[in-house]
Amino acid sequence: MGKTISGFSKLSKSEKIDWIVDTYFSNTTDAKQVLKQYWHTDGKLQQLHDEFIENTISNYYLPLGVAPNFLINGKMHTIPMAIEESSVVAAASKSAKFWLDRGGFKAEVISTKKVGQVHFMFHGEFDVLERFFNTVTSKLIEDAKSLTENMEKRGGGILDIELRNKTEDLKGYYQLHASFETLNAMGANFINSCLEQFATTFKREALNFEGFSDEERHIEIVMSILSNYVPECLVKVEVSCPVEDLTENKNISAQEFANKFVQAIKIAEVEPFRAVTHNKGIMNGIDAVVLATGNDFRAVEAGVHAYASRNGRYSSLSHAEINDDVFRFWMEIPLALGTVGGLTGLHPLVKLSLELLHKPSAKELMQIVAVAGLAQNFAALRSLITTGIQQGHMKMHLMNILNQFEANDAEKLTLTEHFKTNTVTHVAVVAALNKLRK
């Protein structure tokens, strides 16, 4: 049974752990051992990790793998992927190798515009508010100069500020809708700081605007925050080849493979139950690279799934067609990423991952991440329309089952060989392991 505690954040790391294990665990020795075995032996490195977040008690490890052989815009890449799900890295690698011999992946950044909003309430006449906004816009930008100066020197900054009337959705609700260019930074802190300054200036200047009545001049600022929906921060990726070059599977013709692939995409375009799983597969590739490069995968997920619903119904992010006997598979998605700031300069493995990717700019990273998603989607669909998804997935999951039952190296070797020609299921693996042990 849990209990409340006051001043937990002020306890030392050891005191926090003592309280947790004494309160929640029957075997305090084992619990402490598990937590401590994931600490870094390098005290300086451990302190760095402890200071990433609050109330740190241990490190939570995910495997960091690599998927080689990605040809993107004529340049070779080995892509780092941090993920726990069996078969993701293998599937991405297989797709990379497949398309390497067919011209590779083409990627293009369409736009890098990001968005933030000041949400406020106003209960006067809109035309008066609009007149005030037109007089104060230059002041909003001027007051934010101390924040934007360095970004502007690098070619970024505030792109635009609009007044948006949202009173049809909510009585008295308006926005300052601002767009930004943040270059190689994801830009969350920069954008939020600018928005808060806009809000301060907007509210202050309203008090002195002669066009407002006494009631109107007291504008209520509700909040100022960036949006993780970035429909104009877009990257497009695609692959294509003659239909006759499409398949390596002897059980299905190239034309049948192409037709079934396009049909599978069309199903994901019209059926939300399928689209969610379809897009989740894309995000397997995207999230793994976003995480490995120290970016915010929760923000990316939220923005991407909102984009998938932009036409009023949740739909596939990827598309495919056959035109003049040429197969084309493509995707256009929003990705707000950074290669400077945040963890990119702090986490040693993030720095290593970015160096592995040739120290990309934010635009280059957008392309690489999107390619990983498209590759993952191709691999999943290829399995689904040929062998079925479980054959490959369960073979990759075999080691997890063997580790669950503490198989030794000899048992793993024997059973890995056995299941090269036998179907992997949890029941089958347990039965084979028990038979081997007898």
DSSP string, 103-147: T-BEEEE----EEEEEEEE--S-HHHHHHHHHHHHHHHHHHTHHH
CA distances from 250 to 76, 77, 245, 257, 258 (A): 29, 29, 13, 11, 14
Instruction: Give percent of the chain with pLDDT exceeding 90.
Output: 81
Please tell me the distance from the alpha carbon of residue 412 to that of residue 63, in angstroms, as a whole number.
20
Model pLDDT for residues 133-144, shown as the tens digit of each residue? 999 999 999 999
Contact 286, 373 (CB under 8 A): yes
Q: What is the distance between the alpha carbons of residues 423 and 431, in angstroms, rounded to a whole number? A: 12
pLDDT at residue 266, as a whole number? 98
- Characterise 157 by phi-psi region: left (phi > 0), alpha (psi -120 to 50), beta (else): left
Q: How far apart are CA 316 and CA 266, in angstroms?
A: 8
Higher pLDDT, 248 or 394: 248
Write the DSSP assignment of 287-333 as a string of letters. Answer: HHHHHHTT--HHHHHHHHHHHHTTTSS---SEEEEEETTEEEEEEEE
325 is catalytic: no
Candidate list 18, 50, 85, 232, residue with the active-site label: 85
Which of these, 290, 296, 264, lies nearest to 277 by C-alpha position?
264
Which entry of 77, 94, 119, 393 is annotated as an active-site residue? 393
Inter-residue contact 402 to 360 (CB < 8 Å): no
Cα–Cα distances (Å) from 51 to 46, 289, 342, in that order, read 9, 23, 13
Q: What is the mean pLDDT of the chain?
A: 93
pLDDT in tens, 263-291: 999 999 999 999 999 999 999 999 999 99
Tens-place pLDDT, residues 167-202: 999 999 999 999 999 999 999 999 999 999 999 999
Q: What is the pLDDT of residues 223-257, one digit of tens each?
A: 999 999 999 999 999 999 999 999 767 788 999 99
**Active-site residue identified among 236, 260, 266, 280:** 280
280 given a catalytic annotation:
yes
- The answer to whether the CB of 164 falls within 8 A of the CB of 227 is no
Catalytic residue status for 218 = no
Q: What is the pLDDT of residue 127?
A: 96
Structure confidence at residue 388 (pLDDT): 65
Structural domains in the chain, sorted by start: 8-50 (no CATH), 64-106+237-387 (3.90.770.10), 114-226 (3.30.70.420), 393-437 (no CATH)
pLDDT of residue 65: 97
Q: At what angle do helices 272-292 and 254-270 cross, to 10 degrees?
A: 100
pLDDT digit string, tens, across residues 297-356: 999 999 999 999 999 999 999 999 999 999 999 999 999 999 998 888 889 999 999 999
Residue 409 CA to residue 404 CA, distance in Å, equals 13
Q: How far is the first Cα of the chain from the last one, in angstroms, to the nearest whole number?
A: 42
Q: Which helix (H) or strand (E) holds 256?
A: helix 254-270
Distances (CA, A) of 173 to 37, 63, 120, 161: 52, 46, 6, 17
Return the amino acid letter for 242.
P
Q: Which residues pair with residue 178 across a beta bridge? A: 116, 161
Angle between helices 409-418 and 426-437 (to 10 degrees): 130
Residue 247 near residue 254, CB atoms below 8 Å = yes
Res 411: pLDDT: 80
Q: Does the CA dihedral 348-351-356-362 come out positive or negative?
A: positive
- For the segment 62-67, the average pLDDT, to the nearest whole number, is 96
* Least confident segment among 8-12, 65-69, 98-102, 431-435: 431-435
CB contact at 8 A, 373 and 196: no
Q: Is 178 helix (H, G, I), strand (E, B) or coil?
A: strand
Active-site residue, from 119, 296, 395, 397: 296
435 — pLDDT class (breaks 50, 70, 90)? confident
The predicted structure's pLDDT at residue 413:
82
Q: How far apart are CA 233 and CA 235, in angstroms?
A: 7
pLDDT over 70, % of the chain: 97
Q: What is the mean pLDDT of residues 108-119?
A: 97
CB 177 within 8 A of CB 115: yes
Dist CA 49 CA 345 (whole Å): 13
Q: Which helix (H) or strand (E) holds 242?
A: strand 234-242
392 — pLDDT class (breaks 50, 70, 90): low
pLDDT of residue 73: 98
